[in-house]
């Protein structure tokens, strides 16, 4: 635990750190990759170029500094990051490297003096210890399960590639060793590790698992992003290609009782984790209301429509509503409303105070739907969401 003087010293620097904004964390990443270029094989360099990762780290640093005297408040954020770290196989010996460059960045940009730097060093060591302990727990929990393993060193083969829309393909991934694969919770993701001559560095990406566990293989679905390194590579692959995987992870997953009404809300490829949730609910023959609300551009981009209908048919109280933003003439009958998703007219369908909401899609989409749900009286703690890439608060 940190002493009161250390806490007060770090907190006194928060305004100065906040004034730097993501410039601080951009400086940190540039410094770290210059001195330790091997870490480029772990970090998503695309998120560096867009600024998403520096922004996410900056927000995390500020949140940690602000809650030094109430570390319990950081529990959900720690869990989210620790789960992501295990998919990158982060090791304890990498924390001192990160700490060294983060502290050096604060020193170089703020020059706050030795006392402040010592306080930040103590604070970082405490946070690193929290992460190391939790991540080791996750590693051990997964390893001990049937079909479990540690890190991104298990070899799989792409056994099937299926186009699901004009921009989304699904991939069946089967272990080369023929042994079972560890189960997961509906909504969690899988990390793909790829080294390819066309890449500057090893690439690691997380993709949502899109169906219920079967113990034999995994299925993911990937949207082809223009300029996306990994998505472009995957969309060029065929059955037979070998890749490596880290075990399933993630803190976004279905957690309801049979009596809980559920609404699954998605935009575009954001349907992937909630599709697994729908699959789990169908498998369980969930007796309470289940609602599927999905928005996409048109029929060409609408993925898994037949699968959603088939799963919904297994549920006693299923209802779905689909929006096409710019439908084609041939899309008539495939959607319920034209334009962007609008939940306000659906007030009677979301008014049950026991209903849980799971949302996934672009950040702007999720922020808008959360806002509308809150306007309709839904408590924020009943709204759960997943951000693809570095986490952002809605």
Asked whether residue 57 carries a pLDDT value surpassing 90, the answer given is no
Q: Is residue 44 part of a domain?
A: yes
Please identify, among 117, 142, 167, the residue that sits at the C-terminal boundary of a domain. 142
Catalytic (active-site) positions? 95, 135
Judgement on whether residues 198 and 111 belong to the same structural domain of the protein: no
Q: Which residues make Cβ contacts (< 8 Å) with residue 224, sequence separation at least 6?
A: 167, 168, 169, 231, 232, 235
Q: Domain count for the chain, please give it.
A: 3
Q: Which residues make Cβ contacts (< 8 Å) with residue 83, sequence separation at least 6?
A: 138, 249, 250, 251
H/E element holding 5?
Answer: helix 4-12
Burial class (CB in 10 A: 0-12, 13-18, 19+), 365: buried
The three-state secondary structure class of 173 is: strand
Average pLDDT, stretch 301-328? Answer: 98
Judgement on whether residues 107 and 75 belong to the same structural domain of the protein: yes
H/E element holding 242?
Answer: strand 242-249
Q: Is residue 118 part of a domain?
A: yes
Other Cβ atoms less than 10 A from the Cβ of 232: the count is: 14
Judgement on whether residues 264 and 232 belong to the same structural domain of the protein: no
Q: What is the pLDDT of residues 326-351, one digit of tens each?
A: 999 999 999 999 999 999 999 999 99
The CA-atom distances, in angstroms, between 234 and each of 13, 39, 88, 255, 271 are: 45, 23, 19, 31, 19
The CA-atom distances, in angstroms, between 291 and each of 145, 213, 266, 361 are: 32, 22, 11, 16
pLDDT for res 392: 57
Strand partners, 169: 163, 222
Beta-carbon-side half-sphere exposure of residue 349 (alpha carbons within 13 Å): 20
Judgement on whether residues 317 and 188 belong to the same structural domain of the protein: no
Judgement on whether residues 232 and 267 belong to the same structural domain of the protein: no
CB 351, CB 379: distance < 8 Å:
no
pLDDT for res 47: 61
The two beta strands, 154-163 and 242-249, are antiparallel
Judgement on whether residues 284 and 184 belong to the same structural domain of the protein: no
Judgement on whether residues 171 and 241 belong to the same structural domain of the protein: yes
Q: What is the pLDDT of residues 90-126, one digit of tens each?
A: 999 999 999 999 999 999 999 999 999 999 999 999 9
Judgement on whether residues 9 and 129 belong to the same structural domain of the protein: yes
The CA-atom distances, in angstroms, between 180 and each of 45, 84, 150, 217 are: 32, 23, 14, 8
Q: Is residue 252 part of a domain?
A: no
Q: What is the pLDDT confidence band of residue 58, given thresholds at 50, 70 and 90?
A: confident
Q: What's the predicted TM-score (pTM) here?
A: 0.93
Q: Is residue 390 part of a domain?
A: no
CB 266, CB 360: distance < 8 Å:
yes
Q: What is the pLDDT confidence band of residue 212, given thresholds at 50, 70 and 90?
A: very high
Judgement on whether residues 197 and 329 belong to the same structural domain of the protein: no
Please identify, among 86, 119, 142, the residue that sits at the C-terminal boundary of a domain. 142
Q: What is the pLDDT of residues 158-169, one digit of tens each?
A: 999 999 999 999
Q: What is the pLDDT confidence band of residue 77, given thresholds at 50, 70 and 90?
A: confident
The CATH number covering residue 230 comes to 2.40.30.10
The CATH number covering residue 85 comes to 1.10.490.10
Judgement on whether residues 211 and 288 belong to the same structural domain of the protein: no
Task: Report the C-alpha dihedral over residues 179, 184, 186, 192, rounded to 10 degrees.
Answer: -70
Greater pLDDT, 29 or 308: 308
Poorest-confidence range of 123-127, 292-296, 309-313?
A: 123-127
Q: Is residue 85 part of a domain?
A: yes
Beta-carbon-side half-sphere exposure of residue 355 (alpha carbons within 13 Å): 22
CB 126, CB 7: distance < 8 Å:
no
Average pLDDT, stretch 73-77? Answer: 86
Q: Is residue 360 part of a domain?
A: yes
Judgement on whether residues 217 and 307 belong to the same structural domain of the protein: no
pLDDT for res 387: 86
The CATH number covering residue 302 comes to 3.40.50.80
The CA-atom distances, in angstroms, between 60 and each of 77, 314, 376 are: 8, 42, 30
Asked whether residue 250 carries a pLDDT value surpassing 60, the answer given is yes
Judgement on whether residues 138 and 186 belong to the same structural domain of the protein: no
pLDDT for res 69: 86
Task: Report the C-alpha dihedral over residues 204, 43, 166, 234, rounded to 10 degrees.
Answer: -30
Average pLDDT, stretch 282-310? Answer: 98
Please identify, among 142, 170, 192, the residue that sits at the C-terminal boundary of a domain. 142
Asked whether residue 227 carries a pLDDT value surpassing 90, the answer given is no
Q: What is the pLDDT of residues 121-162, one digit of tens each?
A: 999 999 899 999 999 999 999 999 999 999 999 999 999 999
pLDDT for res 45: 66
Q: Is residue 233 part of a domain?
A: yes
The residue segments making up the domain with residue 287 are 260-384
Q: What is the pLDDT confidence band of residue 46, given thresholds at 50, 70 and 90?
A: low
Poorest-confidence range of 39-53, 87-101, 163-177, 204-218?
A: 39-53
Q: Which residues make Cβ contacts (< 8 Å) with residue 344, sequence separation at least 6?
A: 372, 375, 376
Q: Is residue 22 part of a domain?
A: yes
């Amino acid at each position: 635990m940190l002493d009161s003087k250390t806490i007060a010293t770090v907190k006194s620097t928060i305004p100065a750190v906040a004034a730097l904004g993501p410039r601080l964390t951009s400086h940190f990443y540039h410094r770290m990759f210059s001195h330790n270029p091997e870490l480029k094989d772990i970090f998503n360099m695309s998120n560096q170029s867009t600024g998403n990762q520096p922004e996410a780290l900056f927000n995390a640093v500020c949140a940690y500094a602000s809650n030094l005297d109430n570390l319990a408040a950081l529990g959900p954020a720690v869990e989210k990051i620790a789960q992501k770290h295990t998919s990158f196989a982060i090791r304890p010996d990498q924390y001192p490297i990160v700490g060294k460059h983060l502290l050096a960045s604060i020193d170089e940009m703020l020059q706050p003096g030795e006392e402040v730097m010592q306080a930040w060093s103590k604070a970082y060591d405490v946070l690193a210890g929290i992460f190391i302990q939790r991540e080791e727990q996750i590693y051990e929990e997964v390893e001990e399960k049937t079909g479990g393993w540690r890190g991104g060193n298990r070899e799989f083969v792409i056994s099937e590639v299926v186009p699901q829309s004009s921009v989304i393909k699904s991939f069946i991934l089967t272990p080369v060793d023929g042994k079972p694969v560890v189960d997961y919770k509906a909504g969690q993701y899988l990390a793909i590790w790829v080294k390819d001559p066309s890449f500057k560095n090893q690439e690691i990406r997380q993709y949502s698992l899109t169906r219920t566990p079967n113990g034999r293989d995994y299925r993911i679905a990937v949207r082809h992003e223009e300029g996306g390194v990994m998505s472009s590579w995957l969309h060029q692959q065929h059955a037979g290609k070998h890749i490596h995987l880290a075990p399933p992870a993630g803190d976004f997953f279905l957690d309801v009782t049979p009596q809980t009404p559920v609404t699954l809300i998605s935009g575009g490829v954001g349907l992937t984790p909630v599709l697994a949730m729908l699959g789990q609910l169908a498998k369980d023959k969930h007796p309470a209301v289940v609602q599927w609300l999905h928005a996409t551009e048109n029929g060409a981009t609408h993925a898994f429509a037949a699968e959603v209908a088939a799963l919904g048919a297994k549920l006693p109280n299923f209802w779905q509503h689909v929006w096409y933003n710019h439908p084609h003439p041939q899309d008539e009958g495939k959607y319920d409303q034209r334009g962007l998703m609008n939940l306000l007219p659906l007030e009677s369908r979301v008014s049950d105070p026991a209903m849980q909401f799971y949302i996934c899609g672009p950040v702007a989409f999720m922020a808008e739907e959360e806002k509308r749900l809150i306007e309709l009286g839904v408590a924020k703690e009943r709204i759960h969401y997943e951000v693809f890439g570095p986490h952002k608060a809605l």
